[in-house]
Amino acid sequence: MSHRFDGKVIWVTGASGALGRATAVLLAERGATVVASGRSVASTDFGGAAGIDRLPVDVTDTADVTRAYAELIARHGRIDGLVASTNVGAFGDFLDLADEDWLKVIQAKLLGSARPARAILPALIAQGSGAIVLISGRGGIEPPPQHFPGSTVNAALDLLVQGLGRRYGPDGVRTNAVDPGPIQSPRMASMADSGTVNIFRKTALAGPGLPIDVAEAVAYLLSDAAKFVNGTRLYVDGGGAPYA
Ligand SMILES: NC(=O)c1ccc[n+]([C@@H]2O[C@H](COP(=O)([O-])OP(=O)(O)OC[C@H]3O[C@@H](n4cnc5c(N)ncnc54)[C@H](OP(=O)(O)O)[C@@H]3O)[C@@H](O)[C@H]2O)c1
């Protein structure tokens, strides 16, 4: 049984990326009004899916996130959920990565997830309902050697959802993470090219996974079917690396 989101307004950041785009399309197909964000979202091809409203935003800029959220409310009048799926690439050996490489991942993914969550939480608390899903990553428990900034931020997001879940669960707001493993995407291809991962070895199932696999997990966590799931993470990683 598919979960329906009729009447719900869900903000998807990173909707111009592979996983955010698949999530936006799936949620819209299931009845949600999806507000799709990204700096380049104006040119994103959503395959003609109905119910997707494009709202460009730069998640590294607190004022721009505040502006975008105000615009979302002006257009749609309510907010029911957030999917935060932003990041930038910073791959390389620890000794070769500079502060700037770390800072851009912290800005785009850690603070880039925290800012929209902070923007919408007062409304969710006031209405006593809502769900937040942060896209983290398996690197948070198994950091690939060329991916320490992203993996470190994933671990931080895993902790953040636990904290937010406990802090705002009593207000009716659930917060969880989806932690993908290798998913077929331009991002994964660039990691494979840089030698960061062997996408064919790092999963116990035939892999890599597909963006729709992540989108389905997000839809579950946003839905009432997950009404007792809070402050935790759901791995979508084929079970991790197989035992030799
Ligand atoms: N793909 C995988 O296999 C995999 C595995 C584990 C974890 N993840 C995580 O899953 C998430 C999505 O991955 P993906 O493969 O979909 O990555 P992607 O295709 O590179 O998408 C990244 C998204 O982040 C947005 N973004 C970056 N900086 C932004 C900014 N300053 N303001 C607003 N939006 C910004 C990009 O939009 P604009 O450029 O238009 O701004 C884009 O929509 C990431 O957090 C990634 O680390 C992915």
> Binning pLDDT at 50, 70 and 90, where does residue 106 land?
very high
pLDDT at residue number 29: 98
Give the total number of structural domains in the chain. 1
For the cut 60, the answer to whether the pLDDT of residue 213 exceeds it is yes
Note whether 230 and 165 are within 8 A (CB).
Answer: yes
**What whole-number distance in Å separates Cα of residue 151 and Cα of residue 155?**
6
Q: Is residue 173 part of a domain?
A: yes
Percentage of the chain lying above the pLDDT 90 cut: 88
Per-residue DSSP letters for 105-124? HIIIIIHHHHHHHHHHHHHH
- Give nearest CA residue, ligand 1 atom 17: 17
* 89 alpha carbon – ligand 1 mean position (Å): 8
CB-hemisphere CA count at 13 Å for 87? 24
Nearest-atom index, ligand 1, CA of 16 = 43
Q: List pocket residues of ligand 1, CB cut-off 6 Å.
A: 14, 16-20, 38-41, 57-60, 85-88, 108-109, 135, 137, 150, 180, 182-183, 185-188
Taking residues 173-179, what's their average pLDDT? Answer: 98
Per-residue DSSP letters for 12-76? EETTTSHHHHHHHHHHHHTT-EEEEE-TTGGG---TT-TTEEE----TT-HHHHHHHHHHHHHHH
Nearest-atom index, ligand 1, CA of 138 = 6
* 198 alpha carbon – ligand 1 mean position (Å): 20
pLDDT at residue number 115: 99
pLDDT at residue number 176: 99
Q: Is residue 87 part of a domain?
A: yes
* 243 alpha carbon – ligand 1 mean position (Å): 30
pLDDT at residue number 207: 84
Q: Is residue 179 part of a domain?
A: yes
What's the domain range around 85? 9-227
Angle value at C-alpha 190, between 185 and 214, nearest 5 degrees: 25
* 14 alpha carbon – ligand 1 mean position (Å): 5
For the cut 80, the answer to whether the pLDDT of residue 131 exceeds it is yes
Nearby residues of 70 by Cβ (< 8 Å), 6 or more positions away: none
pLDDT at residue number 52: 98
Distance, CA of 25 to chain centre: 14
Q: Is residue 234 part of a domain?
A: no
Q: Is residue 240 part of a domain?
A: no
**What whole-number distance in Å separates Cα of residue 115 and Cα of residue 1?**
33
Taking residues 31-38, what's their average pLDDT? Answer: 98
Note whether 133 and 83 are within 8 A (CB).
Answer: yes
- Give nearest CA residue, ligand 1 atom 24: 86
How far lies 163's CA from each of 75, 177, 226, 227, 235, in Å?
Answer: 31, 12, 18, 17, 18
Q: What is the dihedral of CA 170, 73, 44, 1, to 10 degrees?
A: 40
For the cut 70, the answer to whether the pLDDT of residue 201 exceeds it is no
Q: Is residue 4 part of a domain?
A: no
Q: Is residue 237 part of a domain?
A: no
Instruction: Sheet with 233-236: list strands edge to edge.
Output: 52-54, 33-37, 9-13, 81-84, 130-135, 173-180, 233-236
Nearest-atom index, ligand 1, CA of 57 = 33
What pTM does this model have? 0.97
* 28 alpha carbon – ligand 1 mean position (Å): 19
* 40 alpha carbon – ligand 1 mean position (Å): 12
Task: Name 169's bridge partners.
Answer: none
Q: Is residue 207 part of a domain?
A: yes
CATH number at residue 123: 3.40.50.720
Nearest-atom index, ligand 1, CA of 191 = 3
Angle value at C-alpha 203, between 213 and 184, nearest 5 degrees: 45
